[in-house]
Structures are given as structure tokens and as C-alpha cells.
Amino acid sequence: MKSNNNTIFWEDERVDGADKVNGKAKYAAEHNLPNMAYAVFVTSTIAKGSIKNLDTSKALAMPGVLDVIYYANCPSVPGYISNAAERPKNAIEWRGHKVLHDNKVRFFGQPIALVVADSFENANAAIRFVKAEYAPESFETNFDKARLDPANLKATSSYKRGTEKKFKEAFAFVESEFNIPVEVHNAMELFATIAHWEGEDKVTLYDKTQGPKSTQFTVSRTFGIPDKNVRVIAENVGGAFGSGLRSWANVPAACIAAKKLNRPVKLVLTRPQMFSLVGYRPQSWQKVGIGADAAGNFTGISHEAISNTSRYEDFREGIVDVSKFLYACENVDTKYNLLPLDVSTPVWMRGPGEATGCFALESAIDELSYKLKMDPIELRLKNYTTINPENKLPFSDINLKDCYAYGKNKIGWKNRPTVPGALKENGWLIGYGMAVGIFGAGKGSASVRIVLSNDGKLLLECGVSDMGPGTTTSMTILASEAMQMPIQKIKFKLGDSDLPPGPSQGGSGTTSTVGSAVDLACKTLQQKLKEIAIKSVPVFAGMNAEALDVKNEMVISKTDTNAKMAIVDVLKLANQDKIDLTITSNGKTAAQLKFTSNSFSAHFVKLGVNPKDGTIKILQVVTTGDAGKIISPKTARSQMLGGVVGGIGMALSEKLEIDHKTGQIINASFGGYHVPLHSHIPPTDVWFVNKPDPNINDIGAKGIGEIALIGFAAAITNAVYNATGKRVRDLPNATGKRVRDLPITPEKLGFKSKV
């Protein structure tokens, strides 16, 4: 429990925790509507080609089956019309694969038909009776092979300051290549959409989304209907990590089916479909070169990357961007290309491109530190900058040095062997590693409704979502602190497009953006309360608003403590049931735009490598964040813990496997795609600088979601190198080495596979 001026304002708890644990909180697929039908996708069994014939007769004859919707009987969708001249004016073309629209197959597992039945079981039983006859075409899903031919690449961006490839002239330099396989978000909650048309041009959706407002916009434009006629409800989201930042095939398909059948339709993806239908972290290849002078000053950084996209849509992200501004360096060049393959479209996945990029950059810096015989933290401090070298603006705040100092001490960095492979504990080779993460900290616009009722309850509403980071809790805490009233009297409502417009939850921006709006709403409400008090309460008559305070659920004079009144009594005296305001907080002010804002993290790992078989055991983790003021300590800590778990998965086990002969994903299940187990997660220390950033917004908070993960995988690979290094004496079965291709396996360390 925290207290402020002897008054208890809030407890350190999740305000929505109890409802989530006891099952009261409903997720998209848990809603049920009268007369609802159930839909299941039939998916393609070839990677590319066209469907010559689709036989639905057997499926239609199955019990309870209501319809099989596919290209030949799919009603026309305004947003599916490519020719703008033929499209209704308020419709926008659907981005990506137009599900159920044509007979083309673009990737293995693409939905080719939708079976709708009176129960989920009946729909599911019928899908295997839909028979497709294909005309297959040749395809390419092999990234490693296809990237070697420059003709396959699509140039996306390049950047240069100073001299290109300057690093090669340095006193010491490294140039290395890095590979990261496809990784999949795989949140606990399956994607689901329930569509319910309440009229010809009016639809309500229960949907798993990170942005109720963005889904509303997508649906209204796809179906050419007014925004206000589309309501998207997503009060609870069971994880998404970026996969919910756009709408996928389940959204239009549910809408199409519900309209065609004239009854509500529920469409839930299966777990295997979660591997191919809702995005993933693209596969990437990177090459990083860094050079330094004898003192360790970086003289040149070159960063090249290729990541995959689909054949029908471009997805690009900030893979090489971190190298432009995380460290002081005059000569930087970057190049980024896309490689289209016959697979589905990737999307942002936690930390997105920056996590990919930081893995390479932070590994390369570690490599360089050994060449320079310099401590890797010292090397980073040598190139520390408080001014962003790309846009030349000062960081609104940067306390990464404090993160280094804390982590170094807490992990026991002094025990780190400077010669790799030189430390053993209990028969295990021990290594220490660290790496840095950086991500943009933005502030956008958001609207918040605030309602103070004369029963003393405060309601706030915003059409943002909470996919799990604790937005409901942190916004309630912010309101509690701004209003100086107990958390128990405050309710923050989100997850509904009918609420005042809020941003999509993404890019670590929710706390800064919505939090600023909550803060402004509370301040506006307090001002209003003071004005009402002056007008209606005799004891305040003639006073200035500035002379009054609103706190402890009272309006109170700053100078005469006898002049006070409970806010509920102020409203009653003024004969008002409530104060009901909607305010909008805008993006950064001119003063805030004079700075560039980022959150930072530094991750520290101590691990052991078993010299007999290459097994890796993470022994200790210290993860530190420079994210401004921490609004909600418990949920902020949990976000960092989630980043650690994700980072361990990225470093040690996560990899999507495609059979390039068929184009089929062969490990589309939790049995085949390995996320960390509880027993893989070591004692983890989470620490925040917890200092308000004075220049980003009024609340001083930056973001946490991405920096929790960004850099973490490199901390592990750096520690593995530190443990095994070049020394072979203690590795009877292998030669330890630096692993630049994730995930690290004993085989990549040089151990023979036991299977």
C-alpha cells in the first residue's frame, strides 16, 4: 500500500486482476449472442497457385452446416474492389489478402473457404469435407536461399552520414552477419471476431484487437459504411504483442458471413492458424560493421538488413534504425531491403525491428570489446551520447548510465572473466553478458471523458485497449494521483470504439499518450470543481481558483484550512448530479518537440554452459529500464519480466520452421514451437531509474513494452560467448564460439546432436 500525505490513495494491485482471475472478465470469443452461428476457416494445402474447383457439397450435407462461403458465392465487399473508380466513395481498399475473394492461393494455410454451422463442433467437423482442386504454381519460401539473389530484393531505405564503410579503416573493427528466424507472437488468447449486423449498414463486433478505433475504421471503410455505425468491443485482450495492431482475415470473414446469413457469427482461429494468419516477426539477415580507435571511440558503423515480407504486401520495420542514434559516431551508413516470399505477411512483434536490430548491433559491440580488450560497458560509456546523433536533438532525458551502474553491481560484473571461457562454477562454464535496448517514446493525441458523480465516484473513459500491460491499472493510478483521491472510487473504462477516441495500444505509447489525457482531464475537472465551489459554496465566495486545492475528496483553501468542503457536498450545493467533461490532449507541444524522446534499457545475464553437452542454464537476470516515471510499479515490473521471458525464448528456443518443399509450417503448435518454460526463468531483478522525464509530457512517463525485450537476446549470446569463448580446453566435445544465428543451440556451439 502506498500513501501520500498520510492518505491512502491506491494499493499496489491490478484493478482488473480479480475479474481476470475469477473469469468475470470476458475476452472476444467468450461473448455469446442469441441465434449465433459458428465459423471455421478451411485453409489451403498448397503454397501457391489457384483453385480450379472447390467442392462444398459434402460439407453442406453435414449436420448443422448452414453455409460454405468461398470465392464463388462470397457477397461483394466494397473494400475488395481494387478499381477506385468502381468503389463506393467512403470505402477504402482492404490492405492485404482479401479473404474469400478470389481463387488464388498466396501461402500455405491461406483461408480458402469458411464453413458456418449452428455449433463450433459442427463447423469444425465439416471443414475436412470441403475439397479443393488446385493448379499449383512454383513458389519460394526459403529466405536463406532467396536472399542471395539481389534480383529478389526490394530496396526499402538507405541512410548515410559521413563516410560509408568507414569502420574498415579503424584501429580495430568487426564485421559480422546475424540471422534471426521467424518468431511468432502466440499470445494466450486466440484471435476471434463476433460480428453482429444490426441493420443493413450497422455492425457490432467483439474482436481481439489492440485498437478498437483502428478496427472500427478498417471495418467501416471495408464495408463502405459510416464510422459511427461500427462498434468494436474489446474490453479485455489476452496478449497480442503487436499481432493485434491490424485486422486480419477473421474480421472481414466474420462480417461477410454474418451479413450473408443474417445472424451473428463467431469466428475463432485455431492455435495452428495463429502461426500463419496473424503476422509474425519476419525472418532477417543482418550485417553489422563497427570500428573504433585505440581509445574505443566508434569511428564508423555500417548496418545492413534484409527481412522477409509476403508477395502481396510490404511490411517493413526499423531494423537498422537503432544504429543511427544509440551511440555517438560520425560515420554511419545503413541499408534495408525486403525479400518478398510466398508466405503470409509479417507484422510488428514486441520490440519490433529495433529488437532485431539491437540483437546485431549489441552483439557486434560485444565482439569489438574483446578486440579492443576493453570492458563492454566501458566501451558503451565511451560512446555514450545525450544528443541523438541522427537528428541532432537532445534526448528529453537519458539515464542509461544509471542502468549500467545498477546492473553491473547487482549481477556481480566484477566476477566476469575478461578472458572468455575462464570461469567455472560447479562444473559449469560461467559467462556474464549485457546489452542495451532503445525505443522511441512518443506522445500522441487522445480524448478522455471524465465524470465525477455526486456520490463521489469518478469514471474515466477512453477507446484505447489493454492487451495486458496494465493500462487500466496505470490510468486509474494516474487519476488517483492527479485527483488525490482513493483508487477504489475510480473506474477507468476502455476497450470500446464508442468511447472517446484513443490510440491503438502499440509502440510503447499508451501511458504517455492516454496518461497525458487522463492527467489533463483530472486537472480540467479540478478547475471546474473550484469554479463551482466559488460560485455555489459561501465559504469560498470571492476566492480565486488558484487559492483552492482539490484533494482528499475535498475542495480546500490553501491558506485557510477551515475553508473546506467535500466534493460531493459541493456538487449537491450546486445542485449538480455530476460533472461530465470530455477533453482532448494533443501530441507534443512546441517545447517538447525541441527534444527527441526514447526509453532505454540495459539487460544483464549470468549463465552457465554445461561443458559436456552445451546445455545453457540462465542463472541470474538483472533488467533495468530508463522509462521516466513509473506509474504502476507492479504492472511495470511485470512488463519487464515478460520481456525477459520473451528474450530468453528469442535467444534459446523460438524458431518457426517451414518445409520448403511444400511451403508448410511444420511446427505450428506449442509442441513444436518452443517458448520458455517456467523452469527456464531464473531469479530476475527488475529495476527502473524511475525519474520523471521533464520534457516528454506532463506526467514524466515514457514507455516500457518494447525496451523490456529489445537487446535481451544479445545479453544472452554475449554471456554465452563469455562463458565458452575461444578456449577449447574446458570444452572436450566442442569449440565454444560466438553464436550469431538465433536461437542458440548446443549444435551451434559445436556440440554434436544427441538425436
Residues that bind ligand MOS (CB under 6 A): 210, 241-242, 245, 348-350, 352, 506-507
Identify the residue whose cell numbers are 457490432.
Answer: 204
Our CB check for ligand MOS shows the closer of 241 and 248 to be 241
**Cβ at position 97, least distance to ligand MOS in Å:** 21
Our CB check for ligand MOS shows the closer of 352 and 643 to be 352
Q: Which residues are 452's β-sheet partners?
A: 458, 579
What are residue 492's phi and psi, to 5 degrees? Answer: -110, 120
Element (H, E) at 531: helix 510-536
**Cβ at position 278, least distance to ligand MOS in Å:** 12
Could you tell me if 741 and 604 are in contact, meaning their C-beta atoms sit under 8 angstroms apart? no
CB atoms inside a 10 Å sphere around CB 107: 26
**Cβ at position 745, least distance to ligand MOS in Å:** 26
Secondary structure of 610-640 in the HEC alphabet?
Answer: CCCCCCEEEEEEEEEEECECCCCHHHHHHHH
**Cβ at position 352, least distance to ligand MOS in Å:** 5
Could you tell me if 109 and 277 are in contact, meaning their C-beta atoms sit under 8 angstroms apart? yes
> 540 vs 561, 576, 584, CA distance in Å?
12, 17, 29
711's CB contacts (< 8 A; 6+ apart) are: 355, 358, 359, 362, 435, 436, 437, 438, 601, 602, 603, 647
**Cβ at position 504, least distance to ligand MOS in Å:** 8
**Cβ at position 79, least distance to ligand MOS in Å:** 24
Our CB check for ligand MOS shows the closer of 39 and 438 to be 438
**Cβ at position 28, least distance to ligand MOS in Å:** 17
Our CB check for ligand MOS shows the closer of 129 and 280 to be 280
Pairwise CA distance, residues 662 & 596, whole Å:
47
Report the DSSP pairing between strands 490-493 and 104-105. unpaired
**Cβ at position 468, least distance to ligand MOS in Å:** 10
**Cβ at position 514, least distance to ligand MOS in Å:** 14
What are residue 175's phi and psi, to 5 degrees? Answer: -145, 115
Identify the residue whose cell numbers are 494468419.
Answer: 277
> 209 vs 33, 257, 313, 711, CA distance in Å?
19, 20, 20, 27
**Cβ at position 208, least distance to ligand MOS in Å:** 13
User: Residues of 592-606 as b/e, b for ≥16 C-beta within 10 angstroms?
Assistant: beebbbbbbbbbbbb
**Cβ at position 748, least distance to ligand MOS in Å:** 27
Pairwise CA distance, residues 241 & 430, whole Å:
32
Our CB check for ligand MOS shows the closer of 467 and 715 to be 467
Distance from first CA to last CA of the chain, Å, rounded? Answer: 53
DSSP character at residue 546? G
**Cβ at position 317, least distance to ligand MOS in Å:** 9
Our CB check for ligand MOS shows the closer of 43 and 210 to be 210
611's CB contacts (< 8 A; 6+ apart) are: 427, 428, 429, 730, 731, 732, 733
Our CB check for ligand MOS shows the closer of 242 and 420 to be 242
Pairwise CA distance, residues 55 & 461, whole Å:
49
**Cβ at position 242, least distance to ligand MOS in Å:** 3
Our CB check for ligand MOS shows the closer of 352 and 642 to be 352
Could you tell me if 421 and 727 are in contact, meaning their C-beta atoms sit under 8 angstroms apart? yes
DSSP character at residue 739? -
Pairwise CA distance, residues 732 & 735, whole Å:
8
Phi-psi sector, 575: left (phi>0), alpha (psi -120 to 50), beta: left
Could you tell me if 341 and 311 are in contact, meaning their C-beta atoms sit under 8 angstroms apart? yes
Our CB check for ligand MOS shows the closer of 46 and 245 to be 245
Residue 417, judged by CB atoms within 10 A of its CB (0-12, 13-18, 19+), counts as middle
Q: What is the chain's length? A: 755
Our CB check for ligand MOS shows the closer of 246 and 449 to be 246
Among all residues, whose Cβ is closest to ligand MOS?
Answer: 242
Our CB check for ligand MOS shows the closer of 642 and 736 to be 642
Our CB check for ligand MOS shows the closer of 314 and 659 to be 314
C-alpha grid cell, residue 483: 485527483
**Cβ at position 221, least distance to ligand MOS in Å:** 22
Our CB check for ligand MOS shows the closer of 340 and 442 to be 442
Our CB check for ligand MOS shows the closer of 467 and 485 to be 467
**Cβ at position 245, least distance to ligand MOS in Å:** 6
Our CB check for ligand MOS shows the closer of 215 and 299 to be 215
Residue type, 488: Q
- CA nearest to 246, candidates 196, 280, 201, 223: 280
